[in-house]
Chains A and B, each alone.
Chain A
Amino acid sequence: MTEAIARPRKLPPAPLEYLRRWPIRLSVGAVLVFLYAPLITLMIFSFNDSKANVVWRGFTLKYYIKALHNDSLIQAFSNSMVIAFFSTVLSLILGAMAAIVLWRFRFPGKTVFDGALAIPIVVPEICMGVGMLVFFAKVLPWPQEMPWPLNLGNIIIAHVSFSFPFVAVVVRARLASFNREMEEAAKDLGASEFRALMDVVIPHIQPSLIAGALLAFTLSLDDFVITFFTAGPDTITFPVKVYSMVRFSVTPEVNAASTILIVVTVLLTFLALKFQGSQALTAGHGADDK
């Protein structure tokens, strides 16, 4: 209160201070409500003590306990985690290699390789899903009786195929700021090509490797369409499980499971932010990356 009295009247907004003008404020507010209201209600109602899940009947954790005791849900969740883990490791290696090659070398067919690498990013998911379905049905039938987690191999392969180009984009953006002379200095001082790469280039791109890994992890955890087409009838991932649950009805148990996933994602996002600043946020989707 005292502050308001002490200060002179607020200055009118400067010409370009659009955030202080009401039409812009209103639209930003409306968009944020639009984006968040559904997610926040979903999270709140996961604690609701009512089966119908519409009217608030008091706080409870019983749907979390129920979700944690739902074996097929747990199975689906651990499948998703294992797939995301292996897919992230492979995507990171392949993506970083592709990025370094494209940044470092001139070679015949470079434009073609560069363009081909962008196709998995732009092509609609359904087309890629169909490709994977056909590939694993006709060319490389994946034996389903293999021990866990080997039976997830086909899904992991599919996930790597759409994740590693994203990693390559993120790593390449970071490489653009690398001073090539540093690597040359290392070589002049007697380091081998390989040594210079490992000791000079890799440390420089480390933040982008972490951001790329987090991106690959989320992409894999998030994917429904491609998994749905790749997976055999017996392998279920978390999104596929939620899909089949949602088809039946809206239950507080799904709310609870979704809330857990949202919290995991938010934590991962903040980690990505910590490592690469706001650049990590827009990974693969901002024009900044060019």
Chain B
Amino acid sequence: MEQSWRQAKSIFMTLISAPLFWLVAFFIIPMGIVWLYSFGENSGLIDIAFTGTWSNYAHAFDPLYLGIFAKSIGVAVVTTFFCLVLGFPVAMAITFAPDKAKSWLLLLIMLPFWTNLLVRTYALIAVLRTNGYVNMTYQFLWERTSGLMTLLGMQPLGDFHPAILLYNNFAVVFGLVFVNLPFMVLPLYSTLDRMDRSLLEASLDLGAGHIRTVWNVMVPLAGPGIVSGILITFIPSLGAYLTPDLLGGPDSQMIANVIESQFKRANNWPFGAALSFILVYMTFIGVALQGVIESRNKRRQA
């Protein structure tokens, strides 16, 4: 049983003071200031006056910024979709693997997550750039095929044009999937692992094929895991800064890049603050939605 804090006041106070102080002083207050700024206006070169205006939020609904929001959401949706489609079979494989293979597979999936984000993004640049490894392989194959065709007396393939794989939206989605895939696999795995296997066996025994069993039994049962997997990949993708910055082109700006430029270059802090708080609100909505879905699921099971 949990103890009431009154029974051991001194130890309770000692234990809670430091984390509470830190959380308030170095997280809540900074975020609170940003929140206040989102209702403020620039006055003078570096001063910001809190005027209670909604104009920063209104500014965020300009077609230009609405477009960027739409684009960010689109990129995050596509990323989450690919993570789910790629991650589900992997989670299945881990769940039904023998114990030893299970821990190795988990390790293999999680190891990249522990690796520095910047290093991983850099690795993608080296692979995807115009004279990167993908294009080198492509060129090699192209020239060999061309040579072979000449040898056979056919028209050669013509000049080699490298595929443009970097500095566009494709690269951003590719990079985000690369970075976020492990986040998707984990929650999927942990729900699949707790699933009642006899239901799957029953479905197979009663004549449903594997595809039907997966689609009609496994996927609905894994619902909560799918929801939290979607959330855990969608939020970081929506607020991604580094990936669009390093892998994207001039038209791949996402919200985070706009926020950065408002704070570091355009020096319009109130507007940047409003944009980042829109992102925070979206996060809260996502978390709340997940909570609602989860409690509804629990009620159904009860």
In the bound complex, how far is the Cα of B2 from the Cα of A101, in angstroms? 10
What separation, in Å, do the CA atoms of A224 and B260 have in the docked complex?
13
Q: Contact partner of B122 among A31, A42, A273, CB < 8 A?
A: A42
In the bound complex, residues from chain A placing their C-beta under 8 Å from that of B23 are: 113, 116-117, 161
A224–B3 CB distance below 8 A:
no
In the bound complex, residues from chain A placing their C-beta under 8 Å from that of B29 are 135, 139
- Contact indicator B232/A285 (Cβ below 8 Å): yes
Do A127 and B125 have beta carbons less than 8 Å apart?
A: no
**Which of A32-40, A65-73, A143-151, A205-213 is the interface stretch?**
A32-40
Interface residue B28 (Cβ < 8 Å from any Cβ of A)? yes
Chain B residues lying within 8 Å of A11, measured Cβ to Cβ, are none
Asked if A24 and B119 sit within 8 Å, CB to CB, the answer is no
Q: In the bound complex, do residue A38 and residue B178 qualify as a contact, i.e. CB atoms below 8 Å apart?
A: yes
Q: A131 within 8 Å of B by Cβ?
A: yes
B127 contacts which chain A residues (CB < 8 A)? Answer: 37-38, 41
B178 touches A35 (CB 8 A): yes
A107-B5, A242-B122 known; A124 and B235 CB under 8 Å?
yes
A31 touching B22 by the CB < 8 A rule? no
Number of B residues near A (Cβ < 8 Å) is 104
Q: Give every chain A residue within 8 A of B53 (Cβ-Cβ).
A: none
Instruction: For A194, give the chain B residue with the smallest CB separation.
Output: B11
When chains A and B are docked, how far (Å) is the Cα of A246 from the Cα of B117?
Answer: 13
Whether a CB of chain A sits under 8 angstroms from the CB of B239 is yes
Using A24-B92, A97-B19, A131-B30 as known contacts, say yes or no to A124 and B238 having CB atoms under 8 A apart.
Answer: yes
Q: Does B186 contact A126, Cβ atoms closer than 8 Å?
A: no
B107 and A281: CB pair below 8 A?
yes
Of residues 34 through 69 on chain B, the ones whose CB sits less than 8 Å from some CB of chain A are 34, 37
How far is it, in angstroms, between the C-alpha of A55 and the C-alpha of B117 when the chains are bound?
26
- B16 & A97 in contact (Cβ 8 Å cutoff): yes
Instruction: Give the residues in chain A near B277, CB-CB below 8 Å.
Output: 127
Is B124 among interface residues, defined by CB-CB distance under 8 A? yes
B77 within 8 A of A: no
Q: Which of A106, A126, A197 contacts B259 (CB 8 A)?
A: A126
CB distance from B1 to the nearest CB of A (A): 7
Interface residues of A in 123-143 (CB under 8 A from B): 123-128, 130-135, 138-139
Report the bound CA distance from A103 to B2 in whole Å. Answer: 7
Our pick among A54, A101, A124, A262 for the contact of B256 (Cβ within 8 Å) is: A124
For residue B86, CB closer than 8 A to chain A, the reply is yes
0/1 string, B182-216, CB within 8 A of A gives 1: 11001101110000010011001000001000000
Cβ contact within 8 Å between B114 and A126: no
B142 CB to closest chain A CB (Å) equals 15
A38/B124 in contact, CB under 8 A: yes
A45 within 8 A of B: yes
Q: Does A282 contact B (CB under 8 A)?
A: yes
Interface residue from B33, B90, B125, B132 paired with A139 (Cβ < 8 Å) = B33
Cα separation A261 to B277 with both chains bound (whole Å): 34
What B residues does A266 contact at CB under 8 A?
Answer: 111, 114-115
B276 adjacent to A281 (CB under 8 Å) = no
- Hey, which chain A residues are within 8 Å of B27, CB to CB? 119-120, 128, 131, 161
A221 touches B116 (CB 8 A): yes
User: Whose C-beta in chain B lies nearest to the C-beta of A135?
Assistant: B30
How close is B110's CB to chain A, nearest CB, in angstroms? 5
Distance (whole angstroms) from the CB of A103 to the closest CB of chain B: 8
Distance between Cα atoms of A262 and B238 in the complex (Å): 26
Interchain CB contact under 8 A, B116 and A127: no
The reply to whether B280 and A107 form a contact with Cβ atoms under 8 Å apart is no
Q: Is B164 an interface residue (CB 8 A)?
A: no
Known: A27-B90, A250-B129, A287-B191. A269 touches B114 (CB 8 A): yes
The answer to whether B249 has its CB under 8 Å from any CB of chain A is: no
Taking CB atoms, residues of chain B closer than 8 Å to A95 are: 19
Q: When chains A and B are docked, how far (Å) is the Cα of A54 from the Cα of B136?
A: 8
CB of B34 within 8 A of CB of A130, answer: yes
In the assembled complex, how far is the CB of residue A115 from the closest CB belonging to chain B, in whole angstroms?
10
Q: In the complex, what distance in Å separates the CA atom of A138 from the CA atom of B30? A: 10
Residues in B with CB closer than 8 Å to A51 are none
A173 touches B (CB below 8 Å): no
Q: Are A104 and B123 in contact (CB under 8 A)?
A: no
Which residues from 15 to 29 on chain B have a C-beta closer than 8 Å to any C-beta of chain A?
Answer: 15-16, 18-20, 22-23, 26-29
Contact surface of A with B, Cβ cutoff 8 Å: 15-19, 21, 23-25, 27-28, 30-32, 34-39, 41-42, 45, 52-55, 93-95, 97-98, 100-101, 103-107, 113, 116-117, 119-120, 122-128, 130-135, 138-139, 157-158, 160-161, 164, 168, 180, 193-194, 197, 218, 221-222, 224-225, 229, 239, 242-243, 246-247, 250, 254-255, 258, 261-262, 265-266, 268-269, 273, 278, 281-282, 285-288
12 pairs from A and B in contact (CB 8 Å cutoff):
A16-B197, A34-B86, A41-B123, A42-B126, A97-B18, A124-B279, A130-B273, A131-B27, A193-B8, A242-B122, A250-B129, A281-B110
